[in-house]
């Protein structure tokens, strides 16, 4: 159970947060927690729940909230955690251990940070303290004066901590990190001069003097405009220091305002027991604690957040900490590094066993492990029980009053771990596994600490630890490239460093070039009996055949992420079976779920998977390409239900067993946006495999998203589709792609290129018998002619397109022609004709879902009314168009209608909405 004030006020339990109910009850809990273990009067609680005039029945309301809160805590077994909500006369007191309250842990970590002698350890403490914050303090409470004051005080403490962290980084000479930490808060609190001064100093010392000076002038202007004051002394001194070009202090030299210092043992857990080494009957004595830990790992780098999370996880009663992650990510190294940081934390010793759950040499039996443990604890060999159950019982008995650490490395499953758990409440068990071990979480409340790949700076540090800093600093770009090619995987980096260490004349750039070849990368990352392939093989051999089949097919996926539908298409299964396989693969950390239903594969894991079944590559690729076509078709049909189908399905098309459904336009457009990069990768893979009939279709089916975000860099993607269509000698495909690409070029203002692209399109469409494609080409040519100043030619082309659409009885294309005809008529000074064309288009009935068309027709109608002198109606229609565009997320349409509106109406609300639409469009682009 955990109580949180640093963010949304809540009570977290093993089964999730308690349903606290209304804001007043949450406020009452906050008021009690702010004075935890101290009586809080009803009058004080009333002040926290109401402003100036509380209701007559305020006391009854408070009592009701207390009663409900007490019932919630009782139902969550609060008593077992030492939590009690008691009544003391005219007051209430919430008794809660300080370790369960995040604000108390925050203050404790700040105190520990101040006590450290090493700045590096101080940084760890301060970062761990700030990690407790999950949003503005006291979120979700009633904004009464006492609670707002308390929230302000907590926020002030947080900001001060950020400033201390910046100072600690500065002491270490890591000014770029100080600047990164301080900038985020300086943006959020632009008039906090101490933040601005600290950021300026950090920027200056990291070689970014112009940015530092720019920040000073920005802050000075803001202070003058908002408060009418000049910069204070601290800000002015920082500015003067930069102008003088004061040199950077030596690392380790204290700087002004640096209040955080550090010492050894940051993050170590000191169990609360007394260390009953003499009372367990082992005869080991306090002077010779058991220690089975292997040697400390060499070259350990980074992992500050994980070490802090491990320390938090180990802070409970009889905790079981679970370090999980993929093969080669450094789980054992993290566990041993953490275990060796503070020997005094475990006065009765540290035990270690490699359970070999993912090895070729066979797993040790529980009795073998327990025998080693018991002997280390001083039990005579002849007194070790002969059964695993007896040995486990003796082990639990001996550890009942001890304070020791048990490290169980490479566990295969939860059943392998349970017999080896110690019995003492002051013992800490640290388990590492490639599997999630959900059973251990359920049965023993194990606290998971997931481990991911290293960040780029830590990758460089790992390489430098083996090769020497001079060699890495001499080729920083190549070092970063090596880290990327190794995917941040520590095992891959260590193998690479080992190869380079044995070849002192070999350059990092040359090694990176060798690794860049995917065909030989995994072979290069193996050395003797150690390597990425060997580690992954031991993981995969634990999987059932069906999961291995899906995993092998995943290696041929051309995209960066996937869902069960994609995996089913690759493997020739169905989404339900694929989802089950993904869960198994995720439990083994072979795939990762970045968001619900969205999975990714590490690059090196993908290469290994591809090598499991290389012959299935063409079949898997064809399956996933046809899946892309089927899903994109469904998305386009949902996004633009009145739209004309782009094409017939390709020859030999294999419909997937199941195609994703889209409930509405927003979901379909969201999918097209999210999958844009992967759809391009699929089309590129299709081209490389000679499947050009799939390539152009996959790209062309994204037309609703292209229209929605026309200026979003679509030209290179559509050029690939055009190349595929030309390679197929398919006039239908070439015409359709030219139509869309030419329109995109015109929207980007590249009218000459657009005209050259569109000119062949009508003829190609006629040759293919595609009359509607011909009409679309004529419309797009008319748009280009309008941009080039040829209104008559534009009107003629648009008129021809309208006639073709009516002859084919296609309302969608007819509306498209009318929409553009109205715009051209308006540009030609014929507002009455423009209004008639727009009305005719509306009469054809553009569906409600066709937001873009409605917005554009409303906009041209509004502008036509303005030109005809009916200004009120014009403003009404333009305002309506802008509102519909904003609600639909059609920012280009909003910008266009608001631009027209601002030409005749100067209301501040229109200016604000226009600026917001432009900003959204810029940010999205």
327 confidence band (pLDDT: 50, 70, 90): confident
Question: Rounded mean pLDDT of the chain?
Answer: 84
How does pLDDT run across 407-438, given as a tens digit for each residue? Answer: 999 898 898 999 999 988 888 899 999 888 88
Question: 638, 626, 764: which is closest to 695 by C-alpha?
Answer: 626
* pTM of the full structure: 0.54
Largest distance between two CA atoms of the chain = 107
Burial of 236 (0-12, 13-18, 19+ CB in 10 A): middle
Q: Residue 679: what pLDDT? A: 94
Instruction: From 162, 462, 485, 424, select the one nearest 275 (Cα to Cα).
Output: 424
Name the least confident of 35-44, 355-364, 642-651. Answer: 642-651
Please determine, for residue 828, whether its predicted confidence score (pLDDT) is greater than 60: yes
Alpha-carbon distance of 838 to 501, in angstroms, equals 73
* Other beta carbons within 10 Å of 634: 17
d(CA 594, CA 679): 19
CA 58 to CA 42: how far, in whole Å? Answer: 9
CA angle (869 as vertex; 865, 875 as ends), nearest 5 = 50
The span from the CA of 183 to the CA of 687, in Å, is: 45
Residue range 389-405, pLDDT digits in tens: 888 888 888 888 888 89
By 3-state DSSP, what share of the chain in percent is helix, strand and coil, each rounded to 5? 60, 5, 30
Read off the tokens for 810.
Answer: 């296609």
| Predicted pLDDT at 741 | 93
State how far the Cα of 563 lies from the Cα of 568, in Å rounded to an integer. Answer: 9
pLDDT score at 278: 32
H helix or E strand, kind and range, residue 533: helix 532-540
- Could you tell me which residues come within 8 angstroms of residue 735 by beta carbon, excluding any fewer than 6 positions away? 760, 761, 762, 764, 765, 768, 770, 773, 774, 777
The pLDDT assigned to 672 comes to: 92
Query: Which residues lie closer than 8 Å to 262 by C-beta, 6 or more apart?
Result: 113, 116, 117, 118, 119, 120, 121, 122, 123, 124, 125, 168
- Token pair belonging to 649: 């399905």
pLDDT in tens, 135-187: 899 998 888 889 999 999 999 999 999 999 999 888 888 898 888 889 888 88
What is the tally of helices (H) and strands (E) in the chain? 44, 17
- Which residue, 32, 147, 133, 139, is CA-closest to 78? 32
pLDDT, average across residues 629-651: 80
Count of CB atoms situated within 10 Å of the CB of 766: 15
16 forms beta bridges with 13
Q: Is the pLDDT of residue 274 over 70?
A: no
417, 393 Cβ separation under 8 angstroms: no
468-477 contact pairs (CB < 8 A, 24+): 471/500, 471/508, 472/508, 475/507, 475/508, 475/509, 477/509
User: Positive or negative, the Cα torsion across 763, 766, 771, 773?
Assistant: negative
């Amino acid at each position: 159970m955990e109580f949180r004030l640093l963010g949304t006020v809540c009570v977290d339990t093993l089964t999730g947060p308690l349903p606290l109910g209304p804001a007043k009850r949450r406020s009452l809990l906050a008021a009690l927690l702010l004075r935890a273990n101290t009586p809080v009067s009803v009058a004080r609680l009333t002040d926290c729940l109401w402003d100036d005039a509380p209701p007559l029945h305020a006391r009854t309301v408070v009592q009701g909230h207390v009663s409900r809160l007490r019932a919630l805590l009782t139902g969550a077994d609060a008593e077992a955690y030492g939590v009690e909500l008691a009544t003391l006369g005219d007051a209430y007191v919430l008794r809660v251990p300080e370790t369960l309250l995040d604000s108390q842990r925050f203050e404790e970590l700040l105190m520990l940070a101040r006590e450290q002698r090493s700045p590096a350890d101080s940084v760890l403490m301060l970062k761990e303290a700030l990690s407790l914050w999950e949003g503005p303090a006291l979120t979700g409470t009633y904004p009464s004066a006492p609670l707002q004051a308390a929230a302000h005080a907590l926020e002030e403490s947080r900001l001060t901590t950020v400033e201390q962290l910046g100072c600690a980084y500065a002491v270490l000479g890591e000014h770029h990190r100080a600047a990164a930490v301080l900038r985020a808060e300086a943006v959020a609190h632009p008039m906090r001069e101490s933040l601005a001064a600290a950021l300026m100093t950090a920027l200056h010392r990291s070689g970014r003097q112009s940015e530092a000076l720019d920040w000073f002038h920005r802050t000075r202007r803001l202070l003058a405009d908002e408060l009418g004051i000049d910069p204070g002394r601290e800000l002015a001194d920082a500015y003067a220091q930069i102008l003088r070009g004061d040199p950077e202090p030596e690392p380790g030299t204290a700087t002004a305002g640096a209040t955080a210092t550090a010492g050894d043992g940051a993050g170590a857990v000191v169990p609360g027991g007394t260390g009953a080494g003499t009372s367990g009957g082992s005869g080991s004595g306090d002077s010779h604690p058991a220690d089975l830990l292997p040697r400390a790992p060499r070259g350990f780098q980074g992992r500050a957040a994980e070490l802090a999370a491990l320390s938090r996880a180990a802070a409970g009663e009889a905790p079981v900490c679970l370090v999980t992650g993929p093969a080669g990510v450094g789980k054992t190294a993290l566990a041993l590094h953490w275990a060796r940081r503070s020997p005094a934390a475990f006065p009765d010793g540290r035990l270690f066993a490699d359970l070999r759950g993912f090895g070729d040499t066979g797993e040790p039996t529980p009795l073998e492990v327990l025998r080693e443990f018991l002997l280390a604890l001083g039990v005579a060999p002849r007194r070790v029980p002969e059964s695993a159950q007896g040995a486990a019982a003796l082990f639990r008995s001996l550890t009942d009053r001890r304070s020791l650490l048990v490290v169980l490395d490479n566990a295969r499953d939860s059943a392998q771990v349970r017999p080896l758990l110690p019995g003492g409440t002051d013992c800490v068990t640290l388990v590492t596994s490639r599997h999630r071990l959900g059973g251990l979480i359920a049965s023993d409340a194990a606290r998971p600490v997931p481990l991911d790949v290293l960040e780029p700076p830590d990758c460089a540090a790992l390489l430098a630890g083996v090769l020497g800093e001079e060699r890495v600093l001499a080729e920083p770009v190549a070092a970063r490239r090596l880290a990327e090619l190794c995917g941040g995987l520590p095992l891959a980096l260590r193998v690479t460093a080992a190869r380079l260490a044995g070849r002192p004349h070999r350059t990092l750039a040359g090694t990176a070039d060798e690794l860049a070849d995917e065909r030989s990368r995994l072979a290069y990352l193996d050395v003797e009996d150690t390597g990425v392939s060997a580690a992954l093989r031991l993981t995969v051999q634990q999987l059932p055949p069906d999961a291995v089949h899906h995993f092998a097919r995943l290696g041929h996926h051309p995209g960066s992420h996937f869902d069960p539908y994609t995996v089913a298409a690759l493997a020739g299964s169905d989404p339900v079976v694929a989802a089950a396989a993904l869960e198994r693969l995720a439990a083994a950390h072979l795939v990762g779920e970045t968001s619900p239903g969205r999975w990714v594969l590490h690059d090196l894991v993908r290469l290994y998977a591809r090598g499991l079944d290389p012959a299935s590559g063409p079949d898997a690729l064809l399956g996933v390409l046809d899946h892309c076509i089927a899903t994109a078709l469904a998305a386009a049909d949902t996004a633009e239900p009145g739209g004309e189908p782009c094409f017939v399905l390709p020859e030999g098309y294999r419909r997937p067993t199941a195609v994703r459904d889209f409930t509405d336009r927003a979901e379909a457009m969201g999918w097209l946006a999210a999958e844009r990069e992967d759809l391009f990768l699929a089309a590129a893979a299709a081209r490389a495999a000679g499947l050009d009939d799939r390539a152009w279709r996959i790209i062309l089916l994204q037309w609703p998203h292209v229209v929605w975000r026309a200026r979003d860099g679509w030209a290179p993607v559509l050029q690939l589709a055009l190349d595929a269509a030309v390679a197929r000698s398919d006039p239908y495909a070439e015409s359709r792609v030219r139509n869309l690409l030419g329109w995109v070029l015109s929207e980007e203002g590249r009218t000459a290129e657009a005209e050259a692209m569109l000119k062949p399109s009508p003829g190609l469409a006629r040759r293919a018998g595609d009359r509607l494609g011909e009409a679309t080409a004529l419309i797009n040519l008319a748009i280009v002619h309008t941009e080039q100043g040829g209104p008559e030619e534009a009107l003629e082309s648009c008129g021809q397109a309208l006639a073709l659409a009516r002859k084919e009885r296609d309302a969608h294309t007819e509306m498209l022609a009318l929409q553009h005809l109205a715009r051209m008529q308006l540009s030609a000074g014929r507002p009455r004709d423009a209004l008639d064309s727009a009305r005719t288009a509306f009469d054809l009935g553009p569906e409600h879902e066709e937001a873009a068309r409605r917005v554009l027709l409303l906009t041209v109608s509004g502008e036509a009314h303005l030109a005809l002198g009916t200004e009120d109606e014009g403003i009404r229609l333009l305002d309506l168009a802008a509102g519909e565009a904003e609600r639909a997320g059609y920012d280009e349409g909003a910008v266009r209608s608001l631009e027209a509106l601002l030409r005749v109406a100067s209301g501040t609300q229109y200016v604000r909405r226009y600026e917001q639409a432009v900003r959204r469009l810029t940010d999205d682009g």
